[in-house]
């Protein structure tokens, strides 16, 4: 909907300027606005309001592939704050999330996928709205828990050979913003990054492993999250001469194994903090699923939907709450496609009505 929103805003600005600027040939200090111009002003004001959803440029979801159409319809509804998603893969969930709904951010999970020629082909075929590329999921973690289990030395070699070329169009001609591997939010994660960085410069003394943004995972309290982000910012930015400094994407975060009340308290602290933190560019909650789909380690307190598909208190909060028109227990209707298309249909209907009324006048 970004194109429609931009066109609406441009048209609105133009019409307001045209109607409010006095005629230089007129002696009257105030313009006379005709009924036709009043109609135009009202139309473009409503158009701009409809097309400007309460989208948050930072907020997204780590998406497991919820197959409930009503859930996806709510996530992609006109008032949704969500602007991006990823799914630990270079292949988007086009069945559940239409390609033009929100930005898809691909991930090359490990070395095998990085070296597979099909990966480059897939990335080159993604919509042009995809600009950022994530690399190597939790290489310091175990494969059983979703990690890629790659040593810093092997990761550095693979990053230089397979990931870095995406930055300048070396893999198919399309240029991407690339991130260093995203580790677990633990002391071993920071140790892994130090070893990775050292290995990069041992391989390429001049360039190391080029990077455009930082990625982070965090499972724990708000205080721990703030500390982890500070550690990453210090490692990448405070001890370097980068200008501008790198910004952080939190591609997974949650408070595991806690009840709903504790998780809501954590989110109430976290969202305004991240929204106002300059060096955080994006963040995604791990929990865009129903409580009965939560895994044993996180617990069902992280889920945005209850077992019946209604928003949990946490889900309503993440979707923007009453300000965006979301409340606990609210359910979506229809498919994600219908939710994403609601504004388009409404805009077309209003355009037809507008043309008819202008012709009448």
Measuring CA to CA, how many Å separate 169 from each of 89, 98, 172, 176? Answer: 20, 26, 6, 7
The whole-number pLDDT of residue 84 equals 98
Task: Please report the pLDDT score of residue 66 as a whole number.
Answer: 85
Percent share of the chain, pLDDT over 70: 77
Specify the pTM. Answer: 0.81
Q: What does DSSP assign to residue 161?
A: I
Kindly state the tokens that stand for 161: 């050979």
Answer yes or no: is pLDDT of 30 > 60.
Answer: no
Check if the beta carbon of residue 274 is closer than 8 Å to that of residue 60: no
Exposed / middle / buried, residue 195 (Cβ in 10 Å: 0-12, 13-18, 19+): middle
351 or 143, which is more confident? Answer: 143
Domain boundaries, the chain: 2-52, 59-339
pLDDT at position 52 is 46
Place of tokens 């009324």: 357
Contact, 14 vs 37, CB < 8 A? Answer: no
Please compute the mean of the pLDDT values over residues 1-17 and round it to a whole number. 40
Between CA 238 and CA 234 the distance in angstroms is 4
Range in 57-61, 107-111, 210-214, 294-298 the model is least confident about: 294-298
**Predicted confidence (pLDDT) at residue 139 exceeds the cutoff of 90:** yes
Q: What is the mean pLDDT of residues 163-173?
A: 95
Q: What is the mean pLDDT of residues 80-103?
A: 96
- Does position 326 have pLDDT exceeding 80, yes or no? yes
Which string of DSSP letters, residue by residue, matches 247-316?
A: -EEEEEEE-TT--HHHHHHHHHHHHHHHHH-TTEEEEEEE--SBGGG--TTT-GGG-SB-TTSPBPHHHH
Q: Where are the beta strands (DSSP E) in 157-222?
A: 177-178, 214-219
Burial class (CB in 10 A: 0-12, 13-18, 19+), 360: exposed
- The predicted pLDDT at position 37 comes to 53
Taking only the tens place, the pLDDT of each residue in 34-89 is 555 544 544 444 444 444 446 899 999 999 888 899 999 999 999 999 999 999 99
Average pLDDT, the chain: 84
Q: Which residue has the higher pLDDT, 280 or 243?
A: 280
Greater confidence, 340 or 156? 156
31, pLDDT greater than 90: no
The reported pLDDT for the residue numbered 36 is 53
Dist. CA 105–CA 245, nearest whole Å? 21
328: pLDDT strictly greater than 80: yes
| CATH of region 59-339 | 3.20.20.80
Mean per-residue pLDDT, 16-26? 40
Q: What span, in angstroms and rounded, lies between the C-alpha atoms of 14 and 12?
A: 5
pLDDT at 147: 87
Model pLDDT, residue 231: 97
- CA distances to 23, 113, 210 from 250, rounded to whole Å, are 52, 22, 19
**C-alpha dist (Å) from residue 275 to 228, 272, 342:** 16, 5, 27
Contact 249, 295 (CB under 8 A): no
Q: Per-residue pLDDT averaged across 290-316, rounded?
A: 96
Q: C-alpha distances in angstroms, 186 versus 4, 141, 228?
A: 43, 10, 8
Q: What angle do CA 186, 188, 193 make, to 5 degrees?
A: 105
Q: Is the pLDDT of residue 213 over 90?
A: yes
The DSSP code sequence of 138-158 is -TTS-GGGT-----HHHHHHH
Residue 159 pLDDT > 80, yes or no?
Answer: yes
């Amino acid at each position: 909907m970004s194109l429609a929103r931009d066109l609406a805003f441009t048209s609105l600005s133009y019409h307001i300027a045209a109607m409010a600027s006095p005629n230089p040939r007129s002696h009257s200090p105030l313009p006379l606005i005709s009924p036709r111009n009043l109609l135009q002003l009202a139309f473009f004001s409503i158009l701009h309001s409809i097309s400007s959803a309460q989208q948050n440029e930072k907020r997204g979801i780590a998406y497991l592939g919820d197959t409930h159409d009503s859930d996806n319809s709510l996530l992609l509804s006109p008032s949704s704050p969500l602007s991006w998603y990823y799914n630990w893969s270079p292949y988007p969930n086009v069945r559940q999330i239409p390609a033009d709904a929100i930005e898809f951010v691909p991930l090359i999970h490990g070395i095998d996928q990085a070296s597979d020629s099909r990966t480059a082909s897939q990335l080159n075929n993604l919509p042009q709205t995809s600009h950022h590329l994530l690399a190597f999921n939790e290489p310091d973690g175990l494969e059983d828990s979703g990690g890629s289990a790659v040593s810093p030395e092997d990761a550095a070699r693979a990053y230089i050979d397979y990931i870095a070329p995406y930055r300048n169009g070396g893999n198919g001609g399309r240029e991407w913003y690339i991130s260093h591997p995203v580790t677990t939010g633990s002391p071993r994660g920071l140790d892994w990054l130090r070893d990775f960085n050292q290995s990069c410069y041992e391989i390429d003394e001049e360039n190391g492993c080029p990077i455009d943004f930082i990625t982070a995972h965090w499972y724990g309290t708000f205080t721990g999250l703030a500390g982890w982000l500070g550690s990453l910012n210090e490692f990448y930015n405070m001890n370097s001469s980068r200008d501008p400094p790198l910004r952080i994407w939190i591609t997974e975060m949650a408070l595991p194994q806690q009840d709903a009340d504790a998780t809501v308290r954590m989110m109430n602290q976290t969202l305004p903090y991240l929204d106002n933190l300059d060096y955080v560019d994006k963040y995604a909650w791990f929990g865009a699923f129903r409580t009965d789909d939560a895994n044993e380690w996180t617990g069902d307190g992280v889920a945005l939907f209850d077992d019946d598909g209604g928003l949990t208190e946490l889900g309503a909060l993440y979707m923007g709450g009453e300000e965006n028109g979301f409340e606990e227990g609210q359910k979506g209707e229809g498919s994600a496609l219908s939710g994403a298309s609601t504004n388009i249909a409404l805009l077309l209907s209003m355009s037809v009505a507008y043309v008819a009324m202008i012709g009448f006048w």
